[in-house]
Structure 1
């Protein structure tokens, strides 16, 4: 497997598109509210992407019909926006990939619609922390298995499971390219990381078992046991000292975290829930 090492010019271009994708998640967080449809989310992302002079990478990708993936409650990933309406207590992952000047930026977050249940909060916060731990493993000389091990060890210790069939991926001038980034693994095994590698880490954490199934539409993937699922994703570049999060956001996400007391923080008028930490 040949993994591309990005040039400084490539990385700068990916910073630009990564920053844009992160800003689009901020826009979505401010917009979410009970009663809106997932197609409303698609419209917001699509119009904002075009306004910025970019293109929605997902639109038309292997026939995918929309500009963003919206994965609600038991949907693990690749949910197709449509007429379904968000309800109080839902969790929903919004996965944005945009293309600007030939480079792709890919990021996602799981949002709360109103006050989540104990289970919804648990699986979402476990996933958020698992991504943080995974990113902390990334540095030149580390092994790909270190990333998966960090996610798996933490998630399983919290009583959750990790989806095995879907992985992170290299990204650059193509939306998907080597290397594959498994979210389970053994430390000290797998590809050795080198400075200049760029890839996504995007764990999908289930409240129940890890098995999944695909709906007849060929895209929507659900937990087989219909338990809740959450996902967070960043695009990172490996550096000598660690890594840089190319899709880092300049401010917290609205609708993506609740206080320790379980109460929703104040959101903008018409929106629900709260504010996230750095991830």
Structure 2
């Protein structure tokens, strides 16, 4: 069952989402060759708690970490390790936080040092597909409209879409209705309603869409070992249109990137 939120609840959810956005911005300055994802995890936990929130992933479904850090062929759910990041790696940093009783859940795939051009393009197309999907999250549309937009952009550019893992509703629970696949057919699936809040998160692969789980019981990797990219935003349906609760602004400020990609989805 979809759980719509009123404007006061959406404002509280924005606070939760921004805790995560600021955490990703802080981590952006730390991600470089030689740093371990264990180190990033400790930094993130301390930073989240200092903002008056608590880590959203830690302990959820017995998750042992604050972050899920997925390197190169890891799609999502990668557990932090003591292995240093290397020049040319990419790492999806997925982070959750609870504040005011609501979850924020937000992810960005970072480049580590000098990344291969084909991998950079994968990241660009995945992030573009995220915003194309968000644009379809509007009154009158359905779940399939978002998935179709993401899938079409990814596949038109020669990439594949992971099917087994999806976005989701978000609120007082990390996972609420509806599921938000990154593939689909226009006009199919649950209809969007005013006040609903979701996490939209394309997971796009350079090679095959097939995946497998590692023996740690968490990390999901591509079956062919080729890179995967993952970007995620929290979005509310306000006055019939998508409104971002999270932002990449803090990441871009840390990395010296100028972007207007979020402008059409900002609170007016």
TM-score tier by shorter-chain length is over 0.9
Closer/same/farther in 2, CA of residues 163 and 15 from structure 1, 3 Å limit: same
Tell me which residue corresponds to 2:216.
217
CA distance, structure 1, for counterparts of residue 34 and residue 188 of structure 2? 46
| Partner SS for 2:11 | helix
Show structure 1 runs of 5+ residues with no match. 256-266, 268-273
RMSD across aligned positions (CA): 1.4
TM-score by length of 2: 0.94
Write out aligned runs for 1:116-131 (5 A): 116-131=115-130
CA distance, structure 2, for counterparts of residue 276 and residue 40 of structure 1? 28
Q: In the TM superposition, what whole-angstrom CA distance separates every residue of 1:220-260 from its partner, at most 9, and x where no partner exists?
A: 000011110000000100123411110124445267xxxxx
Write out aligned runs for 1:76-91 (5 A): 76-91=75-90
Tell me which residue corresponds to 1:258.
none
| Partner SS for 1:141 | coil
| Partner SS for 1:253 | helix
Tell me which residue corresponds to 1:66.
65
The reply to whether residue 152 of structure 1 matches residue 134 of structure 2 is: no
Tell me which residue corresponds to 1:107.
106
TM-score by length of 1: 0.90
Say how many residue pairs are matched.
Answer: 261
Shift of 1:211: 0.6
CA distance, structure 2, for counterparts of residue 62 and residue 16 of structure 1? 24
Conserved 8 A contact 2:20-2:97: yes
Q: In the TM superposition, what whole-angstrom CA distance separates every residue of 1:57-104 from its partner, at most 9, and x where no partner exists?
A: 110111111111000000000000011111111111100110012110
Tell me which residue corresponds to 2:15.
16
CA distance, structure 2, for counterparts of residue 68 and residue 3 of structure 1? 27
Tell me which residue corresponds to 2:43.
44
CA distance, structure 1, for counterparts of residue 252 and residue 222 of structure 2? 26
Q: In the TM superposition, what whole-angstrom CA distance separates every residue of 1:172-227 from its partner, at most 9, and x where no partner exists?
A: 11111111001000011111111100010001000001010001111000001111
- Larger helix proportion, structure 1 or 2? 2
CA distance, structure 2, for counterparts of residue 128 and residue 72 of structure 1? 17
| Partner SS for 2:130 | helix
